[in-house]
Amino acid sequence: MARVDLDGKPIEPMTICMIGAGGFIGSHLCEKLMAETPHRVLALDVYSDKIRHLLEPESLPWAGRIQFHRLNIKHDSRLEGLIKMADLTINLAAICTPADYNTRPLDTIYSNFIDALPVVKYCSENNKRLIHFSTCEVYGKTIGSFLPKDSPLREDPAYYLLKEDASPCIFGSIEKQRWSYACAKQLIERLIYAEGAENGLEFTIVRPFNWIGPRMDFIPGIDGPSEGVPRVLACFSNALLRREQLKLVDGGQSQRTFIYIKDAIEAVLLMIENPQRANGQIFNVGNPNNEVTVRQLAEMMTQIYSKVSEEAALDVPTIDVSSKEFYGEGYDDSDKRIPDMTIINRQLGWNPKTSLWDLLEATLTYQHRTYAEAIKKAVSRPVAS
């Protein structure tokens, strides 16, 4: 049966140029496109490990529909040609781990703004549709965070709910280099919006709110650098796998809403296949029902990992660390991130499904199955003197 869009029209197979296809979100999006759609993917990245299972062996049912191009968009003349060959470009490429924002601010700004510029330009000049990945971090801090701690107004959604077309973007001072990422993402959003307004670029901007699941980031010392600091899911997974305490930055009081990657990918597929509903829009994509403090996240992950691994948890599973000790000078934090879902609901009728407990159980089962043996071997190996 022909697949139809939200307005009942048949969906024509398309070619998608996906930049950053070898990353966490890219790998899930490629999987979905190969398994459930007839679309072709030109997958661009410097790494392919997370999509190797889709590329090899060549006997896979979708082998002819996905093509990997190993390239760095900073300096590769093939980029424009690949964008021209596609109907739609999706740009996921970015430096997007908070540990880098204050320690490698130049790389962060170049990656999230300067390196994205040619992609926007080539799409605009060649009349190609663009889906650009921004971040919920463009909202920065909530208005409510500036109210006195005991103010009852902090309970009023008007002071914390993040709305695409109404909320301000509130960043810390310049020496708080944490905001280099958010600021670069905000400027590229404004540039894309202006290309739409002045030159007719057909664009969609996605603001992910803490998408998590299998293949996110790396486990330090196993499939990433020993001293590397990934995002919180991988930091906590690493500690659980090694039977170490989970580090709570500044007491773990910040709040986040976490969404299962598979729910979020459903939203992206709707955007891809319903251009008339997605063009010109900025979409929050998150799960407002899955809010916890980072401390609560640590407690929940500890409990679930103990169930999944059948190992008792440590007596004292967490430890407090200062942000200066953990991230270094210039770190700052978003206090609270709850997405308003009005626009995505209205345009695409999309809603997230998976509870935080269920998504953590699925993800920690994957982490245990994928890494537990490798960690045991790494830990038992004698340290070279």
Q: Is 327 a known active-site residue?
A: no
The residue within the footprint of ligand NAD, chosen from 14, 17, 18, 25 (CB under 6 A), is: 25
Segment lying near ligand UDP (by CB under 6 A), choices 42-50, 72-80, 115-123, 250-258: 250-258
Buried-exposed string 102-138: b where 16+ CB fall within 10 A, e elsewhere = bbbbeebbebbbebbeebbbbbbeeebbbbbbbbbbb
Nearer to ligand UDP, 134 or 254 (CB): 254
By CB under 6 A, the residues from 176 to 215 that bind ligand UDP are: 210
**Nearer to ligand UDP among residue 96 and residue 271 (C-beta):** 96
Q: Is 257 in the site for ligand NAD (CB under 6 A)?
A: no
Query: Which of positions 76-115 make contact with ligand UDP (CB under 6 A)?
Result: 98
Taking the C-alpha atoms of residue 87 and residue 64, their distance in angstroms, rounded to an integer, is 17
111 contributes a contact to ligand NAD by CB under 6 A: yes
Question: 274 or 334, CB closer to ligand UDP?
Answer: 334
Window 132-151: residues binding ligand NAD (CB under 6 A)? 133, 135-136
The interface with ligand UDP within residues 329-368 (CB under 6 A) comprises 333-334
Please name every residue paired with 45 in a beta bridge, in sequence order, or none if there are none. Answer: 70
Nearer to ligand NAD, 22 or 330 (CB): 22
Under 8 Å between Cβ of 203 and 196: yes
- 119 is a site residue for ligand NAD (CB under 6 A): no
Shortest Cβ 210–ligand UDP spacing (Å): 5
Instruction: Find the catalytic residue in 181, 260, 331, 371.
Output: 181
As measured in angstroms, the least distance from the Cβ of 306 to ligand NAD is 25
Stretches 149-157, 247-255, 276-284, 312-320: which one binds ligand UDP (CB under 6 A)? 247-255
Phi/psi class of residue 330: alpha, beta or left (left: φ > 0; alpha: ψ in -120 to 50)? Answer: left
CB of 259 to ligand UDP, least distance (A): 12
- 311 contacts 249 by C-beta, under 8 angstroms: no
One residue of 134, 254, 257, 363 binding ligand UDP per CB under 6 A: 254
Q: Is 74 in the site for ligand NAD (CB under 6 A)?
A: yes
Site for ligand UDP in 279-318 (CB under 6 A): 294
Please say whether the beta carbons of 26 and 215 come within 8 A. no
CB of 278 to ligand UDP, least distance (A): 24
State the number of binding residues for ligand NAD (CB under 6 A).
Answer: 24
For residues 92 and 297, which CB has a smaller minimum distance to ligand NAD in the complex? 92
Q: For residue 71, give every residue at least 6 positions away whose Cβ sits within 8 Å of its Cβ, in sequence order, or none.
A: 44, 45, 46, 78, 79
Residue nearest to ligand NAD (CB): 23
List residues near ligand NAD by CB under 6 A: 20, 22-26, 45-47, 72-74, 92-94, 96, 111, 115, 133, 135-136, 208, 210-211
Contact residues toward ligand UDP (CB under 6 A) are 98, 137, 210, 231-232, 235, 247-249, 252, 254, 256, 294, 333-334
Active-site annotation, residues: 181
